[in-house]
Amino acid sequence: MPFRAPVADYRFILDHVADFGRVAATDLFAEATPETVEAILGEAGKLCENALAPLQRAGDLKPAKLENGVVRTTPGFAEAYGQIAEGGWVAISASPENGGMGLPLSVTTCVNDMMSAACLSLQLNPLMTQGQIEALEHHASDALKAVYLPKLVSGEWCGTMNLTEPQAGSDVGALSTKAAPNGDGTYAITGQKIYISWGDNDFSANVCHLVLARLPDGAPGTKGISLFMVPKFIPDESGEPGQRNSLSVVSLEHKMGLHGSPTAVMSYDGATGWLVGEEHGGMKAMFTMMNNARLGVGVQGIGVAEGAYQHALAYAQERKQGKTPDGSPTIFGHADVRRMLATMRAQTFAARSIALSCAVALDMARATGDADWAARAALLTPIAKAYGTDTGIEVANAGMQVHGGMGFIEETGAAQYLRDVRVTAIYEGTNGIQAMDLVGRKMMDKGEAAWRLLEEIQSGAEAARGTLPELAGAVWDAAEELREATERLVGQEMQDRFAGAVPYLRAFALVLGAQAHLAAALAEAGGPEVAGGGGIGGDGGGPRTRLARVFIRRLLPEHGALLAHAGAGAGDLYALDLEDLGA
């Protein structure tokens, strides 16, 4: 089935939901005019439809392989990556000083979304490089920037992130990789890292690894960790790849999905590295990269949801099975199939709106230096990551169900979406960790950032009562319940918060998603509350409004049960012993 990049959806959300106009109105991003953004998204859409989407199945059927220490990538990936690099798509948001476009992260987020929908295995590669570029721009010395950033921005070289070790997953502070000073400003890096996405390839001139390691005087835990640039080939005096470094790919993981993306076990045997940032300041530098990656991973989930939805919708319009109530010749006429497709579409729109609102907040924080925007971005990041990836999994699963028995048959391609997206809820911090971050670190302000956001939601819903009273009232009520639950949450002990963190995050996401759908319906109805709104008149009967009804009437009510779960505390969980759990 041909993939269609949902460019119109991005434009609509940017204009009517996420309020991208505020970003374009800043001095920093003044060049991000509507015409420029539309042109960029249109060209990216063509790349995704024509170059990336045809490789979706190829990556699954002809995975990356390790042969005699060399990674051989899926046929066609090298050529498609060449188009990504040549088009400047790796570094849309990178500084123009290093060859980047300097455009808002909001635009990059749209492009990453559609690339993920077209071929997630390949999209993972530029996502890793984007995070590395940001980390280097913020923390590297001028000398390191001069050598690495132009090559990474151009796509000539690729970047990776090396955190995890066999004994140190989410507990990064337990790492054992060592960094010993060589006496010449470089360091000898020794250790093993696992789960390194795109740890090597056969189409870029160099692979640049950001590696967390501990100096001899590094304290135990995360406070003693430093960050190092460790390239596959050590740059020579002219900045070109020179001597091979003392690192290697030990093996590639045998994974449930993402077969086209080589996930490497990396070994460093006294490899030459350069310090990035300050000694023992590795986590600060790495979090710059990880926060970028967390939004990016959430968008990967949303992209896969888009691909799975389009796949299922096409199948539902072709498959003939049973007599439908409306006389339709295909299963599209069955109520339950319509329920699944409508839910898939509504969830994807909600998750995409949350992610782009997070990107807008990040752009505004960067452009204005305003602390409130930074707090908004920090609050939305774990929600965007967790809800985006959960949505990808749920939509891909529903896509298989739409296919019926054929969904379980690999030849249809429906199962690949679910296999590929499943890991996104795990990496860059599991979704449970995202939820704990939301109720813990992001609530250290006693909920102030949350209050401001909820006040906006309720004010918007109140203003919409005259145009769409039923939908507006439901959104206002849900936001009020969430506000009350948040008041109770900030008064709880931390372990009680953690016990209900996942349902709380989900409830928050549903309220945000409902706000997005309400804004979309208002824009379609030409409501005065939405800047630039126009279109079908005041009856609110267009496709955006019909989709909003599905989300607000059918999905939003789940938030009440989720908040009840969130407030239950941890006592009953810790009252259970192994015998109770059947051990």
Q: Has 428 been annotated as catalytic?
A: yes
- Residue 344: what residue type? M
Q: Give the integer Cα–Cα distance in Å for 356 and 23.
A: 12
Span(s) in the chain for CATH 2.40.110.20? 159-281
Domain 159-281: CATH class, spelled out:
mainly beta
Q: Give the integer Cα–Cα distance in Å for 269 and 247.
A: 6
Identify the H or E element spanning 121: helix 105-139
Burial class for 178, CB neighbours closer than 10 Å (0-12, 13-18, 19+)? middle
The number of beta carbons lying within 10 Å of the beta carbon of residue 321 is 11
Catalytic residue among 306, 394, 428, 524: 428
Residue 3: strand, helix, or coil: coil
Q: How is 325-362 classified by DSSP, letter by letter?
A: TT--SSGGGSHHHHHHHHHHHHHHHHHHHHHHHHHHHH
Q: Which residues contact 505 (CB under 8 A, 6 or more apart)?
A: 382, 383, 386, 387, 431, 434, 435, 438, 439
Per DSSP, what are the bridge partners of residue 181? 187
pLDDT in single tens digits along all 583 residues of the chain: 689 999 999 999 999 999 999 999 999 999 999 999 999 999 999 999 999 999 999 999 999 999 988 999 999 999 999 999 999 999 999 999 989 999 999 999 999 999 999 999 999 999 999 999 999 999 999 999 999 999 999 999 999 999 999 887 777 888 999 999 999 999 999 999 999 999 999 999 999 999 999 999 999 988 899 999 999 999 999 999 999 999 999 999 999 999 999 999 999 999 999 999 999 999 888 777 777 789 999 999 999 999 999 999 999 999 988 888 888 899 899 999 999 999 999 999 999 999 999 999 999 999 999 999 999 999 999 999 999 999 999 999 999 999 999 999 999 999 999 999 999 999 889 999 999 999 999 999 999 999 999 999 999 999 999 999 999 999 999 999 999 999 999 999 999 999 999 999 999 999 999 999 999 999 998 854 433 333 333 344 799 999 999 999 999 999 999 999 999 999 999 999 988 898 6
Q: Closest Cα partner for 64 from 251, 254, 260, 250?
A: 260
Read off the DSSP letter of residue 555: I
Scanning 245-334, the segments in alpha helix (DSSP H) are: 282-316
The number of beta carbons lying within 10 Å of the beta carbon of residue 456 is 13
CA distances from 529 to 9, 77, 207, 282, 466 (A): 20, 46, 49, 46, 10
